[in-house]
Amino acid sequence: MKIIELGATVTASNDADAQALREQLKAQGVLLVNVMSAAGSGKTTLLSRIIRDIAPLKVGVLEADLASSVDAERIAALGAKAIQVHTDGMCHMDAGMTAAAVNELGAGDCDLLFLENVGNLICPAEYDTGAGKNIMLLSVPEGDDKPLKYPLMFQKSDAVVITKTDALGYFPFDMERCIERIRRLNPEAKIFPVSAKTGDNMETLENWLHEALDEWRKQA
Ligand SMILES: Nc1nc2c(ncn2[C@@H]2O[C@H](COP(=O)(O)OP(=O)(O)O)[C@@H](O)[C@H]2O)c(=O)[nH]1
Ligand SMILES: [Mg+2]
């Protein structure tokens, strides 16, 4: 497994770097999706399911973590292109780091490219990575109050995936109240309650990804 070590990139403007990466990927017809959530919400499990379901679309994954290469290995075992990025202790990916990882992976032959960002609900929301779409996961065991505590990530996300719905009977999670709280922060966000374990409602999320890719390529 290829592992690259990246520290924060020091450039004049993260936003300019992000815009440059978006333009590069648009010209290549590759849609980069930044996937954010707390640690353990189910990002790698969700991506594994998507990779299996969405074939023959070609998927690449950039796995960002502080240490290890377990997630990139899980993804590579499914036959997708994957690279592990170590962030030198940083709690997020910035645009320069993302561009370096994209170029190291060689993403030009991918349709969809996912960045599994470092697991936490705070810093990843503050940095534009150059992604065409930002999505976040909130899992049922985390509780329906998270939009109240970490509003920025909910505001920055094009889609909120409420995952582990197979566990709804075991946790006091009020789906309606949660959706209402997300709507108040971000009326435009798509909201997909899914279970990556059972596959429940995954097709609505995957259809949205297909549409997002079509739309992205029309803009090129
Ligand atoms: N019940 C249930 N467990 C899940 C689901 N998705 C992930 N998990 C479990 O949650 C834990 C963390 O998942 P992982 O994908 O590694 O989360 P990540 O840290 O966000 O990448 C693992 O034990 C998964 O098996 C789901 O939809 N339902
Ligand atoms: Mg993971």
Q: According to the model, what pLDDT value does residue 9 have?
A: 76
State whether the beta carbon of 195 lies less than 6 angstroms from ligand 1: yes
Residue in 30, 14, 13 with CA at minimum distance from that of residue 22: 30
Residue 13 Cα, ligand 1 centroid: separation in angstroms?
35
Q: Is 166 in the pocket of ligand 1 (CB under 6 A)?
A: yes
pLDDT of residue 1: 84
Please report, in tens digits, the pLDDT of each residue of the chain (220 residues total). Answer: 888 998 877 777 999 999 999 999 999 999 999 999 999 999 999 999 999 999 999 999 999 999 999 999 999 999 999 999 999 999 999 999 999 999 999 999 999 999 999 999 999 999 999 999 999 999 999 999 999 999 999 999 999 999 999 999 999 999 999 999 999 999 999 999 999 999 999 999 999 999 999 999 999 8
CB-ligand 1 contact for 41 (6 Å cutoff): yes
Residue 43 Cβ < 6 Å to ligand 1: yes
Structure confidence at residue 42 (pLDDT): 98
Residue 56: asked if its preceding bond is cis (omega within 30°), the reply is: yes
Nearest residue (by CA) to ligand 1, atom 9, is 42
| DSSP secondary structure string for all residues of 57-95 | S-EEEEEEESS--HHHHHHHTTT-EEEEEE-TT-SS--H
Task: Tell me which DSSP letter residue 103 carries.
Answer: H
Nearest CA to ligand 1 atom 24: 42
Atom of ligand 1 nearest to the CA of 196: 27
| Domain regions of the chain by residue span | 3-8+15-209
Our CA dihedral for 89, 135, 185, 99, rounded to 10 degrees, sits at: 50
Written as one string, the DSSP assignment of 132-181 is SEEEEEEEGGG-TTHHHH-HHHHHH-SEEEEE-GGGGGGS---HHHHHHH
Tally Cβ neighbours within 10 Å of residue 209.
Answer: 22
Topology (CATH level 3) of domain 3-8+15-209: Rossmann fold (3.40.50)
Q: Residue 10's pLDDT is what? A: 73
Ligand 1 atom nearest the C-alpha of 47 is 15
* 45 C-beta closer than 6 A to ligand 1: yes
Nearest ligand, CA 42: 1
Measured between alpha carbons, how far is 48 from 163 in angstroms, rounded to an integer? 14
Measured by CA distance, the residue closest to atom 3 of ligand 1 is 164
Look up the pTM and report it: 0.97
User: How far apart are the CA of 39 and the centre of ligand 1, in A?
Assistant: 9
